[in-house]
Structure 1
Amino acid sequence: MWGHEVKIGYFFYLELDVFGIILYTALTFMAVVSMLVYIEECIYIYWKVPSSKKSAIIWVNGAAPVIGTMSCLGMWIPKATMCTDMTSATYFAIVVFKFLILMIEECGGDEAFLRRSAKKTFKISTGPCCCCCPCLPMVPITRRSLFMLKLGAFQFAILKIVFTILSIILWTNGNFDVADMQITGASIWINPFVGVLTIIALWPVSIMFMHVRNTLRSLKIIPKYAMYQLVLIFSQLQSAIINILAMNGTIACAPPYSSQARGYLMSQQLLILEMFIITLVTRLLYRRQYEPIPDDDVNKEQKMVISSDVSDI
């Protein structure tokens, strides 16, 4: 499969018609603009954002443009699809952890978050693991429970890198093929295990979002979380569905593309367009003045003082 795509990677663009030339040019332009917007956003974040939030915001903002750029490379060089897809997936694994950190930092950091939530609890009956288990108990918010949430997301960032390196090594040796569904194949063991790690990592992020969504509503945390979820759906679920349809022959072949090669190409082209739109929306959400959110306890005291003054009058 990949050997056939090597030839396509070098000669396919010579056979493009007018529509193909326009399509490839437009998609490449979108990928370039996405990366330029991201670079400009990084410069803004570097100068305008507090140091505690810089790293997390830069990582989260980079999800869409990085995936779009990798998809553009995979579109022009089909031989590199394996590497570009794994690079995108590895980057997003880090973004999952960084988005969790971002929500905590928006609350003022670990200490401020624990102080605000000293008498509150985490609702763990959320997706994607336990949304069907409303009977699960509420977990007190402590330093230990916060650490466990971080660990749940961090393990995916580390292990995804490990399995990506392992997959590339096996692929170069001819032992890894995503289309090989035999019990003796490496992908039939690695991919489901990575899927389980992904679900485990998404769970802490969902728990944290359910807890802080009202506190951070003024900081547009809900649309930010929606963009994060869209990147997940498009880059992981959508790509997996298209690849499965291609491997089953549902997507028709179109010479010089085989069914699988055409499926990969369709996936890359869709991702470029989707990530371009998400990049522009994300820029609007994160380009703002980062001021600390008001303390709930202080607000309560102010309300009590005002109410007492009014009663005295």
Structure 2
Amino acid sequence: MDGLNVTIDPRCTQPPPYAIDIIVNLDIFGIILYSVLTFMATVSMLVYLEECAYVYRRVPANKKSIIIWVNGAAPVIGAMSCLGMWIPKATMFTDMTSACYFAIVVFKFLTLMLEEIGGDEAFLKRGGKHKLRISTGPCCCCCPCLPHVAITRRSLFLLKLGSFQFAVLKIVLTILSIVLWTDGTFNLADLTIYGAAIWINPFVGILTITALWPVSIMFMHLRTTLRTLKIIPKYAMYQLVLILTQLQTAIINILALNGTIACAPPFSAVARGYMMSQQLLILQMFIITLVTRLLYRRQYDPLPSDEEDVNENSKIIATPQSSSES
């Protein structure tokens, strides 16, 4: 009963502060922290712009826009996180912008793997004698008994559609969320059955899993063929951005909603959780931007011929039946 008499600072129940309030209340440590993180976000964008110029000069035309989109994931998220750090009231919009951009990157990464192999026709020609293993994450990694799927134009179209739907529907649901927010219906902190967030967010989660599955299938199929193009570390960076922006942010927000993260006026517990998430993302995206630049800024070795693929029997993952026949 004594715990019920604890006085709560009124500022811990207020909405996120304005940017000017943050600037006025910054101490020496805060000034250094905000300056360093802003510098990191700025450098990330400058590195990205320099990389865009390099891509336009050195990369074949069919890969230019795709590589620029994929390379922009970390610096764009870092820039949006920096805006959210300085303007806490805009955190929902900056997070939605980052999420929409990454939804497009999911589809672009699938397209990138196809372009690296030579395009749709080259993929169909190389994979005509093999099948796709669909028992991969995040949907069916625990179902090794699933049958293999033949590589046809239809299966390739379904793989592309699985990722493309996320890019489109994520933007549509984001616009819907903003419209509902203006009406007072959408609130990330409102987890009651009457709130729009409890219905929209799980649906977005299902769309995300559905979109990641085709990318995983394609990666497992081509990872050995594209090893000279460093597709494995590229895929690792793509997965790392996904984990940090989705899982890490979700964990911090849940801890803030449960009160595990303490209030620190002028930030409420929820606003402080968002602030911690933004600051971590700026640092993490800065590191990923530098690593990504090293992976994509290089001269690619030519891919092995289709005959070498067959002889080595390891360039494209085949079914046990195909392996035994060869």
TM-score (norm 2): 0.90
For residue 248 of structure 2, what is the aligned residue in structure 1? Answer: 238
Amino acid at match of 1:37: V
Q: Does 1:181 align with 2:229?
A: no
2:64 to 54, 59, 71: 54
Distance across 2 between alignment mates of 1:88 and 1:261? 18
Displacement of 1:9 in angstroms is: 2.4
- Deviating runs (4+, > 3 A) in structure 1? 298-301
Distance across 1 between alignment mates of 2:20 and 2:154? 54
For residue 257 of structure 2, what is the aligned residue in structure 1? Answer: 247
Displacement of 1:294 in angstroms is: 2.4
Q: Where in structure 2 are the equivalents of 1:246-265 lying within 5 Å? A: 246-265=256-275
Q: Point out where structure 2 has 5 or more consecutive residues left out of the alignment.
A: 1-11, 312-326
1:13 to 23, 29, 34: 23
Q: Where in structure 2 are the equivalents of 1:208-287 lying within 5 Å? A: 208-287=218-297
Displacement of 1:165 in angstroms is: 0.4
Query: Which deviates more from structure 2 when the two are superposed, residues 187-196 or residues 288-297?
Result: 288-297
1:116 to 116, 120, 126: 126
- Count of matched residue positions in the alignment of Structure 1 and Structure 2: 301
Q: Does 1:4 align with 2:18?
A: no
Identity %: 75
Distance across 1 between alignment mates of 2:132 and 2:205? 24
Q: Point out where structure 1 has 5 or more consecutive residues left out of the alignment.
A: 302-313
Q: Is the 8 A contact 2:223 2:232 kept in 1?
A: yes
Q: Is the 8 A contact 2:63 2:115 kept in 1?
A: yes
Distance across 2 between alignment mates of 1:283 and 1:66? 14
Q: Is the 8 A contact 1:35 1:69 kept in 2?
A: yes
Distance across 2 between alignment mates of 1:253 and 1:280? 34
Amino acid at match of 1:260: V
Q: Does 1:152 align with 2:183?
A: no
Distance across 2 between alignment mates of 1:4 and 1:232? 28
Q: Is the 8 A contact 1:45 1:54 kept in 2?
A: yes
Distance across 2 between alignment mates of 1:89 and 1:223? 22
TM-score (norm 1): 0.93
Displacement of 1:180 in angstroms is: 0.6
For residue 295 of structure 1, what is the aligned residue in structure 2? Answer: 305
For residue 322 of structure 2, what is the aligned residue in structure 1? Answer: none
1:88 to 68, 88, 98: 98
Displacement of 1:256 in angstroms is: 1.1
* Cα shift readout 1:110-169 (whole Å, capped 9, x = no counterpart): 011111111011000000000010000000111111110000000000000000000011
Displacement of 1:289 in angstroms is: 2.2
Q: Is the 8 A contact 2:229 2:301 kept in 1?
A: no
Q: Does 1:40 align with 2:50?
A: yes
Distance across 2 between alignment mates of 1:207 and 1:110? 15
1:201 to 211, 218, 222: 211
* Cα shift readout 1:83-122 (whole Å, capped 9, x = no counterpart): 0000000000000000000001000000111111110110
- For the structure 1 residues 299 and 146, does the alpha-carbon distance in structure 2 shift closer, same or farther, using more than 3 Å as the test? closer
